[in-house]
Each structure stands twice: as structure tokens, then as C-alpha cells.
Amino acid sequence: MILHVDMDAFFASIEQAINPRLKGKPLIVGSRGNKMHTVVCAASYAAKALGIHSGMASREAFARCPDLEFVEADQAKYIWTSEQIYELLKGFNLPLNYASIDEFQMDLTGCQDLISLGKEVKKQIYANFNITASVGIAKNWLLAKMASKINKPDGLTLINDKNFETILRQTSLDKLCGMGGKTGANFIASGLKTCWDLYLNLPAFFDQNPGKFDENPGKFDENSGKSSEKPKSVSHSYTLPKVQINPQVIQAWIRLLSEMVATRLRDKNLVSQTVHLWLNGPEIGNFGAQKTYQTQTNDGYEIYQKALKIMANSNLKNPRIRAIGVTCSSLSWSTSQPLLSEEIRREGLIRALDRINNRFGEGSIYPAITSFTR
């Protein structure tokens, strides 16, 4: 059995835990300082109840709720909290997978009282961080992730043989991991409305490698169990607070963006062969270069090193940089379990974030916008 931890409105909840005045209020976290000209990175549940959601233009969010609270995103704070939650979960001494910044999975093989364990996970997270998590428990990664979404926020759902059919009948297909894009639209157009409809037609989708981390939920076709739908590229970009010439700061940003791209690749079980670096500055305008390698990777440090080599071979001499972007393309499905970040690499990323915040002041880091092109 797999236990999936999904933090509730993670970025917004962290801000509310730090500032009790924001508790229970409609709140958005924005990716830029100007609250009327940004994109919603996260929304509290009070804001979600008003129809506000991630990806929405902040101007539209404020139109729905003029009294909306706004907080500028602080990526360093969110990464640090995520790392601390991961360290907390390691204390359960069970196989642990760092799935994304706000999701974690534990292998419960050999565990007996699953509900009590799920309650204890939630209890310890709340006691240590004053934020809630929703937990799903099921026979595999896909179903556990689905279960974690059912009773949000602060939920706990176990899918077993007794309630398997009932839950799948009650869950619309678009709520299933991997069914939010063209694949899901095609199935819905063919008449499949619920997860139970999909199970009756393609039961193998729900039965891959029960209890293992290395399954690939949401990636299948009718023959092999893997989806033909995948993004052409995954990228992160960021416009700096001001034009920057310090190479250490520029490299720290490339490192951060590389790690963020790698996180999304691993979250989707993808690997990349091509790394593209994009730079913008007053003298160089838009500069872009890429290189395709024989080996595939979804490791942030490797992507970072390749991006640095691209920059070193560009003949750019101490350019003034205003914006940076890192893109990975030539994507393939990974055939191995997504790698956990090694301790030294996580610590290196935090140090890079700290250097930037120490230079520009706390809160100078914001989540870059993720781009999936098809």
C-alpha cells in the first residue's frame, strides 16, 4: 500500500501560518510584486470558494473579491518548508518518495493499522508547521494520489476492495492524474465520464505495479500502459528585480530554474536530452542556445551544469542580464523511479536561494512561471 501526502493550498497555507491575521481569509499568492499585474500562484480555500484558482490573472481575482489579501511569493520559504516536512516524514522509517514540493509518498508494505498511521502523519505535520495535509492510502501510487484529493482540505481517505467501486463511480475522470489534458478529453468525448467507466474499459490502468513507487500513473496507451501524450518541453523563466551583472547571482538563478524544471520533469516521470538556455539583457537582447546530449536526465544539477556550459560557449562576456529561462526538450518517459534529491544537492539549492535573498532582501525570490508547450 502507498500513502500519498498532499499539502493543502501549500503556499497560501504557509503564509497564513506565518501571519495569523490571514487565517480563514481569501488570500492569493502572486508571482510578482504588483498585485494587480501578476498571476495567482496559489489561493487559500476561502479564495477558492469564490472561484479563484492558480493560473488566474490577479486582476480577475480582485474583480471577484475586492477585499482579497495578497502576498508576494517567496520560493525559498516554500522550498525550506517542503524540505523540513520531508525530514519529518523520514522519521517514520518507511520508504519515502519526494514527489514534488507539496507531495510525498510512503511505502506502507508491512504496516498494519493504515488509518492510524495516516492520522499520525497528518498530526505531526500540523503540530510542527501549523498547516494541514490531506492523505490518501491505496494499493498503488495512482489511486493513493486520487484518494488524497477526495476529502480536501485536511482529509484522510483509504481506498480498499470494499469501497473501490463506489469511489471510482463517484470520481469524475478529469480528477484522475493524467486525465486533465487531451487524453482525458478524448476519453470523455468517447463517453467515459467517471473513473469507474475507465476501469471497466481499461482496468490495467489502475492495476499497474501495486504498492510500488516506480509505476507511471497517467501515462499509458491501450497496449503498453503508457500514454502517448507528453509535453514537447518543460521550462521555467524569471525576470530579475533589476539588471544583474554579478555572475554568481546569475548562476544561482540558473541553478534554481534548473532545479524547478527538474522537479516538474520528475513529477511527470519524464527525462530530457536537450537543454536550452535563454537570456535577455539590454545589450544582448534575446539570446538563446541549446545542446542535445546522448544521455537523458531529469536531475537538476546535471541540467544546471549543461546550462552553464552553454553559457560558457556563447562568447558572451560579462553580459548584463534582465531575464533568464531554462528549457528541457526532446522528452521521453522515464523507465526508472524518479530520483530523490540527494541531501547535498538540496543543501546546495538552499544555499543558492539564501545568497540571492541575502543580496536582494528576503522575499526577492518568486516562483517562475512553468511553461508546457505542445
Which residues are known to be catalytic? 103
Phi, psi of 275 (to 5 degrees): -115, 130
What is the residue whose three cell numbers read 481569509?
25
> Do residues 144 and 138 lie in contact, with contact meaning Cβ atoms separated by under 8 Å?
yes
Using DSSP bridges, classify how beta strands 27-30 and 69-72 pair: parallel, antiparallel or unpaired: parallel
Tell me, what amino acid is at 271? Answer: V
CA proximity to 25, closest of 73, 70, 75: 70
Q: Per the structure block, which three cell numbers stand in for 253?
A: 538563478
Q: Per the structure block, which three cell numbers stand in for 46?
A: 476561502
361 phi-psi bin (left φ>0, alpha ψ -120 to 50, beta other): left
What is the residue whose three cell numbers read 524544471?
261
What is the residue whose three cell numbers read 484522510?
156
CA proximity to 310, closest of 250, 373, 231, 239: 250
Report the residue count for the chain.
374
Phi, psi of 25 (to 5 degrees): -95, 155
Sheet order of strands, 233-244 included: 285-297, 270-281, 321-333, 233-244, 369-373
